Structure 1
Amino acid sequence: MAQSPQPLLVELFTEELPPKALDRLGRAFAEGIHAGLRGRGLVAGGNTVTPFASPRRLAVRLSAVLAKAPDAPFTEKLMPASVGLTADGQATPALLKKLAAKGLADVDVAALARESDGKNEQLVYRGVAPGAALAAGLQAALDEAIGGLPIPKVMSYQLADGVTTVRFVRPAHGLVALHGEQVVEVSALGLAAGRVVHGHRFQSAGPIELPSADAYETLLAGGGRVIASFAERRANIERQLREQAARLNASLGDEADVAPLLDEVCALVEYPTVYVGEFEQAFLAVPQECLILTMRLNQKYFPLFDAAGALTNRFLIVSNMALADPHNIIEGNQRVVRPRLADARFFFETDKKTPLAARVPQLATIVYHNKLGSQLERVERVRALARWVAERIAADPALADRAALLAKADLVTGMVGEFPELQGIMGAYYAAADGEAPEVVEAIRGQYRIRIERPVGAGDAPAAALFLAERAETLVGIWGIGLAPTGDKDPYGLRRAALGLISGFEQLAAGGRLAGGGLSLDSLLERAAALFPAAPPGVPGEVRAFVFERYRNQLAGQYERAAVDAVIAVAPPLEQVPARVAAVVAFSALPEAASLAAANKRIGNLLKKVEGEIGAVDAARLSEPAEKTLADTVRRLRPLADERFGQGDFAGALAVLSEARDPVDGFFADVMVMADDPAVRANRLALLAELHGAMNRVADLSRLAAS
């Protein structure tokens, strides 16, 4: 009789789990149990997996699990018949030993099947393996799931017997395993499974005995006062936050900042309730970034902002207690946050008493890297590079130099000492308070941004000079001491610095500040390398290749990889890369593209075999009609393509060259390039080299050819 699948619930009840890892742990636990049961044939069709994770539990419910896996036929290859059987068909000692080892000693040798593997006739046993029972399968799956959890830090603790020590992320105090209404006899971490779950630490009605796996969420949320699902609890918190904010005509601010805090708070509460707190208006005189960071980082509060994006003196508290009168909770949180805000105000007012410029000498006491000197030495390198960049992008070198001088001075302020996340931000506030030029203030504020977001205008140019200088100094300096990124490790943020250079060149070009050709990636990296006399000579080239590789990865998500590779292969000016890629994409859509790309690849292969220099085309040596036609075509099209290329019309240049398809095809159909006469051969190679150079100015078109 066929068995009916039943829902299965497994819960591990623990002490408070690490908040930042909770969601990941919950999903891994659920996936591990599911994978273990599915691999043993215990999961029925139509099954759904529901993970649960709260501060004190990891759990999963599978909707369709079998009490016993179906029996499964299997085939066991034993050995060649010539080895296993005697001439009269009796079992050899080798076969008998093999059968015994596999638990098949009672098998009738005559019943063994014979199959050919293409070389020998093999003896094969066909049988039926009984399906795994749920208790055994779940025990194995539970052990595997616990062993495979991405635990950030394992702790050891002793069980109640005073002897046994187990290792887990936090001490575990309860295990539930219910299949339908029946307890599955499994164990983990010294705990035997039962049906009792535990609710909220303070507001639960007491231990809850589950009648069935399906009753888990309902009973926990009711008498237990726990929303077990991480996703449901997070959605509940977000709904309450947005409702409260709307009621106060406020917002939660930048969504990119809200989401991670929401995840963390969700991992701290089991039955969330949102309350409104406030602090004195006077604290709003402190830079709002300080107050926001204090509330979010230290207190896990959600600051509220007005319609203009300015911080208000109200904030939202996500409490783990749902009370009819939350006065004490609100007042307690307000009382706790005031000293922290007062500290921020104290640091701000105290820091302003010392000008940023007066703090610069203190940077000599901060080691940047033991092989690269102090922060002050780094500042001097960045200053020199920022002045040099400024001169080439029509920026004021004095403003760029001043910004570079002051850029790191806030590292020795009290506020940044307390909140390192405010580097640059506080420097900008202190620079403004010191009366520094607005361009200097903005340069300091923008130095840590990931990229430059808009075309660089006159007011932005000093900031762009500092931005590029710092990233070039970082890339060359760190790379030069052998600390290039490896795998996913990039402790000095070199990948981010490379992306910053890319955006910087893009936005300088958009602002018309590279028109004179005074600044290029190569010249910037060479200039930076000159600031590090001990750097190996190949560092600028290696960093350049690294930057282009970052660009390739960035563009590969927007364009065909072949088009991106074709452009990166010629390493053009960094700011021209997007336009060239777009041009290659447009060229690829032309009917002539495939033929020309294939010809380009063929020409490239021919030219690689040439020894020595390739000379100029001698028109007098052109004898075949097809080569004369190609030479005339190149002579006609190249100036047109060069003109469009010089204007930055890369698509137009490639479109002009596409007219060469028929002459190129005719040339390869009718002309023997590698002629016996060395002079004729050299002249034909020269013609192809001229065509190759014209075709590959925008990109290496051979990269578009089918492999």
Structure 2
Amino acid sequence: MTQHTVLFELGCEELPPKSLKTLRDALQAETVKGLQEAGLNFASIEAYAAPRRLALKIVDVDGAQADSQKRFDGPAVQAAYDAEGKPTKALEGFMRGQGISAEQVSTFQAGKVEKVCYYKDIQGQSLDVLLPQILQTALDRLPIAKRMRSAASRTEFVRPVKWVVLLKDDQVIPATIQDHQAGNLSYGHRFHAPEAITLANADEYLPKLKAAHVVASFEERQAMIDQQVKALADEVNAIAIVPADLRDEVTALVEWPVALRASFEERFLAVPQEALITTMQDNQKYFCLINADGKLQPYFITVSNIESKDPTQIIEGNEKVVRPRLSDAEFFFLQDQKQPLASRKTKLANMVFQAELGTLWDKSERIAKLAVALTAITGANAQDAEKAALLAKCDLTSELVGEFPELQGIAGTYYARLEGENDEVAEALGEQYLPKFAGDVLPKTKTGTTIALADRLDTLVGIFGIGQAPTGSKDPFALRRSAIGILRLIIENELDVTIEELVNLALQGYGEIVKDHGKTLADAVAFLEGRYRAKYEDQGVAVDVLQAVQALSPKSPLDFDKRVNAVNHFRALPEAAALAAANKRVANILAKEATPEGAVVEAKLVEDAEKALFAELQAVTPVVEPLLAAKDYTEALSKLAALRAPIDSFFDGVMVMADDAELKANRLRLLAQLRHLFTAVADVSVLQH
């Protein structure tokens, strides 16, 4: 069969930059699906996306579907012919329905019954017939939140469609897609080469567009931007901040990227750099420059869509546009400094945290008391913790946070430093919100850790206390994420404390606001323990490892974590599967039989295998018990792995349920001793292999 190279291009008004990559990938995936469903083979499919176009190049695609044969089933042979071998009414009806004569009837075996049938030859449809519908279906299935209709057209798309190219090698495939007649005319850069481009064949697409100042490949444009941005940053000995989302968005905004470096007045560097970076990235789509220490430099890089004969005009234009934005940030920053952070508590007293739980100032006072109590656990200075807690929410009333909400905490750190607060207090104001998301960094200071814990515990306990725990998809206070943050703060800072202790400390701050302290304690503890699964699944820990640890209900998150790590390590050992199976067998036996009291009587061990197992247990127990006491569970389980051979021999050669009652009782005690050693870490019998 003949193979062809096909080019499809949909030309539009400027496509939404934040979803350009998604649209390209979805168009490719849907087209692949359509080709496969149609039975059309192809070697590869390349997808292109630029501001004004989505395109596909399908390489070595079949010119038509393969011919096929379809079977139409009729009645059983027994019912199809009479005693003389002539067609019955049943067979005549089947032939009439298929429009065939008796000579075209075949038979086939359907289980034990032989049936009549008709094999119809079906000629495969051509690529020219199939492809337009495949492409239109793919476009209809694109993930577009809001479609629009343009002019008199009844079809809808994310932006008005301007032209359609559909080429098979050097031939136009006659088709109407999105109400546009397909042709071989594309268009270059809107300013550099706005005239039509005639494509003689599908392979001309990329080079001809490039000659017309359009780089159709998203990845190629992005590589050009990366290279140009790095070169411009290197010239001033700086490093460009290139967030992945902004990089994709800028790539989606230009057809012919030309990076230019501009500058701003150094006086603006006195403003919190986070505010300057935010406004330049979000509003202007600029790449900011920092030095090796992470300090903002008075430069930014803009990516133009024009190769100007006088780039200084573009640079000056961007500098003129950014100056008022930086001036606004500077104004807010200077205004805020006229009022000390601590004096803002009156404004916080007028801002509701939650109707039943009081204002933000009420919350600040609760956090301060809780933070002081937590310092005994975190090792922070109580005076610093109290001071930081009372200042923690003050920057929420500032002009800077009002304009840049993402600077909450960060603005507070700047103002606290300017007011002469020590590093622990100042840093804690920004660190109180860490971690913000899964995998985010934790606070570096002990005071920051204390405030971060206190803030989350206060919210969680308060919301549970008024009966508004998260349900289904409703979690307005983000308590699920907050709970994982609490677990991480405890585990990664190695704080030896139980969840119950922490919840009780937080409850003390609420007094009579929370009516049922007992129920709130139980519910909040259960909720926090319920988040272990989400936390560890994110790290790739298997569910059975968690179940093995949860069977013991450890009360401390740090202890829980050590056990999880130990079981995870144990699970990978070659002995793990056999030991898990043996533990399951032991657990089943002990569940059915009451274990007799007392220790194993060595004199009543008669079989070599039970003597050997007892000897190994006697040897390993004094080694393992200190490890368990030190909570070195990984090493403890590694030592217990050596019991695999004697356990296997025991079950191969010893009858536990012996007729002799004393022998049976002694063997049950032996198994109980074995089980006790393993379950000191986790219930490894639940591990799946």
The question of whether the paired residues in 2 share the 8 Å contact of 1:566 and 1:703 is answered with yes
Q: Identify the residue that residue 199 of structure 1 maps to in structure 2.
A: 188
Alignment map for 1:6-25 (pairs within 5 Å): 6-25=4-23
1:89 Cα offset (Å): 4.8
The yes-or-no answer on 1:49 pairing with 2:36 is: no
The question of whether the paired residues in 2 share the 8 Å contact of 1:10 and 1:177 is answered with yes
Compared CA separation, residues 217 and 705, structure 1 to 2 (3 A): closer
Q: Identify the residue that residue 107 of structure 2 maps to in structure 1.
A: 114
- TM-score (normalizing by structure 1): 0.86
Inter-partner Cα distance in structure 1 for 2:368 and 2:94: 79
The question of whether the paired residues in 2 share the 8 Å contact of 1:548 and 1:571 is answered with no
Tell me the SS of whatever aligns to 2:344. Answer: helix
Inter-partner Cα distance in structure 1 for 2:312 and 2:389: 50
Tell me the SS of whatever aligns to 2:268. Answer: helix
- CA deviations 1:164-192 (Å, max 9, x no partner) are 53322122222211111211122222222
- CA deviations 1:337-379 (Å, max 9, x no partner) are 0000000001111112222222234334445456765544443
Tell me the SS of whatever aligns to 1:290. Answer: helix
Q: Identify the residue that residue 197 of structure 2 maps to in structure 1.
A: 208
Inter-partner Cα distance in structure 1 for 2:101 and 2:394: 88
Tell me the SS of whatever aligns to 2:155. Answer: strand
Inter-partner Cα distance in structure 2 for 1:493 and 1:121: 65
> Counterpart of 1:520 in structure 2: which amino acid?
T
The yes-or-no answer on 1:250 pairing with 2:238 is: yes
The yes-or-no answer on 1:647 pairing with 2:601 is: no
Compared CA separation, residues 485 and 542, structure 1 to 2 (3 A): farther
Alignment map for 1:25-174 (pairs within 5 Å): 25-44=23-42, 47-91=43-87, 93=89, 104-105=98-99, 107-151=100-144, 153-160=145-152, 164-174=153-163
> Counterpart of 2:146 in structure 1: which amino acid?
V
Tell me the SS of whatever aligns to 2:386. Answer: helix
- CA deviations 1:200-221 (Å, max 9, x no partner) are 2222241222222222222222
Tell me the SS of whatever aligns to 2:9. Answer: strand
Compared CA separation, residues 100 and 37, structure 1 to 2 (3 A): farther
1:62 Cα offset (Å): 0.8
Q: Which moved more, 1:70-79 or 1:438-447?
A: 70-79
- TM-score (normalizing by structure 2): 0.88
Tell me which of 587, 594, 603 is aligned to 1:604.
587
1:301 Cα offset (Å): 0.6
Q: Identify the residue that residue 429 of structure 1 maps to in structure 2.
A: 414
Compared CA separation, residues 591 and 208, structure 1 to 2 (3 A): closer
1:68 Cα offset (Å): 2.2
Q: Identify the residue that residue 698 of structure 1 maps to in structure 2.
A: 681
Q: Identify the residue that residue 385 of structure 1 maps to in structure 2.
A: 370
1:629 Cα offset (Å): 6.5
Q: Which moved more, 1:30-39 or 1:566-575?
A: 566-575
> Counterpart of 1:191 in structure 2: which amino acid?
H
1:11 Cα offset (Å): 1.3
Q: Which moved more, 1:133-142 or 1:319-328?
A: 133-142
Tell me the SS of whatever aligns to 2:162. Answer: strand
The yes-or-no answer on 1:616 pairing with 2:597 is: yes
The question of whether the paired residues in 1 share the 8 Å contact of 2:385 and 2:450 is answered with yes
The question of whether the paired residues in 2 share the 8 Å contact of 1:34 and 1:62 is answered with no
Inter-partner Cα distance in structure 2 for 1:87 and 1:476: 87
Tell me the SS of whatever aligns to 2:253. Answer: coil
- Gaps of at least 5 residues in structure 1 are none
Q: Identify the residue that residue 397 of structure 1 maps to in structure 2.
A: 382
- CA deviations 1:72-109 (Å, max 9, x no partner) are 233344454445555555555555555666xx31x234
Inter-partner Cα distance in structure 2 for 1:367 and 1:622: 74
- CA deviations 1:610-630 (Å, max 9, x no partner) are 57xx66325569844356775
Q: Which moved more, 1:577-586 or 1:432-441?
A: 577-586
Tell me the SS of whatever aligns to 2:240. Answer: coil
Compared CA separation, residues 586 and 159, structure 1 to 2 (3 A): closer
The question of whether the paired residues in 1 share the 8 Å contact of 2:431 and 2:443 is answered with no
Inter-partner Cα distance in structure 2 for 1:99 and 1:264: 63
Inter-partner Cα distance in structure 2 for 1:131 and 1:189: 26
Q: Identify the residue that residue 170 of structure 2 maps to in structure 1.
A: 181
The question of whether the paired residues in 2 share the 8 Å contact of 1:53 and 1:228 is answered with yes
Inter-partner Cα distance in structure 2 for 1:140 and 1:82: 44
Q: Identify the residue that residue 219 of structure 2 maps to in structure 1.
A: 231
CA RMSD of aligned residues (A): 3.3
Inter-partner Cα distance in structure 2 for 1:133 and 1:661: 66
The question of whether the paired residues in 1 share the 8 Å contact of 2:504 and 2:521 is answered with no
1:397 Cα offset (Å): 2.8
Alignment map for 1:121-520 (pairs within 5 Å): 121-151=114-144, 153-160=145-152, 164-223=153-212, 225-253=213-241, 257-368=242-353, 374-450=359-435, 460-476=445-461, 481-484=468-471, 486=473, 492-494=477-479, 496-509=481-494, 514=495, 517=496, 519-520=497-498
Inter-partner Cα distance in structure 1 for 2:142 and 2:251: 20
Inter-partner Cα distance in structure 2 for 1:95 and 1:477: 78
Q: Which moved more, 1:679-688 or 1:545-554?
A: 679-688
The yes-or-no answer on 1:523 pairing with 2:493 is: no
Inter-partner Cα distance in structure 2 for 1:677 and 1:383: 67
Inter-partner Cα distance in structure 1 for 2:443 and 2:596: 44
Q: Identify the residue that residue 688 of structure 1 maps to in structure 2.
A: 671
Tell me which of 528, 543, 549 is aligned to 1:544.
528
Tell me the SS of whatever aligns to 2:64. Answer: coil
Inter-partner Cα distance in structure 1 for 2:574 and 2:243: 50
Inter-partner Cα distance in structure 2 for 1:420 and 1:84: 80
- CA deviations 1:262-281 (Å, max 9, x no partner) are 11111111111111111111
Compared CA separation, residues 217 and 76, structure 1 to 2 (3 A): same
Compared CA separation, residues 142 and 659, structure 1 to 2 (3 A): closer
Tell me the SS of whatever aligns to 1:429. Answer: helix
The question of whether the paired residues in 1 share the 8 Å contact of 2:260 and 2:315 is answered with yes
The question of whether the paired residues in 1 share the 8 Å contact of 2:47 and 2:57 is answered with yes
> Counterpart of 1:131 in structure 2: which amino acid?
G
Q: Which moved more, 1:684-693 or 1:303-312?
A: 684-693
Compared CA separation, residues 62 and 662, structure 1 to 2 (3 A): closer
1:637 Cα offset (Å): 3.8
Compared CA separation, residues 585 and 37, structure 1 to 2 (3 A): closer
Tell me the SS of whatever aligns to 1:267. Answer: helix
Q: Which moved more, 1:405-414 or 1:648-657?
A: 648-657
- CA deviations 1:367-425 (Å, max 9, x no partner) are 54567655444434433433332222322233223322222222221111111111211
The question of whether the paired residues in 2 share the 8 Å contact of 1:281 and 1:313 is answered with yes
Inter-partner Cα distance in structure 2 for 1:392 and 1:661: 40
Tell me the SS of whatever aligns to 1:165. Answer: coil
Identical aligned pairs, as a percentage?
A: 37
Inter-partner Cα distance in structure 2 for 1:328 and 1:181: 43
Compared CA separation, residues 92 and 617, structure 1 to 2 (3 A): farther
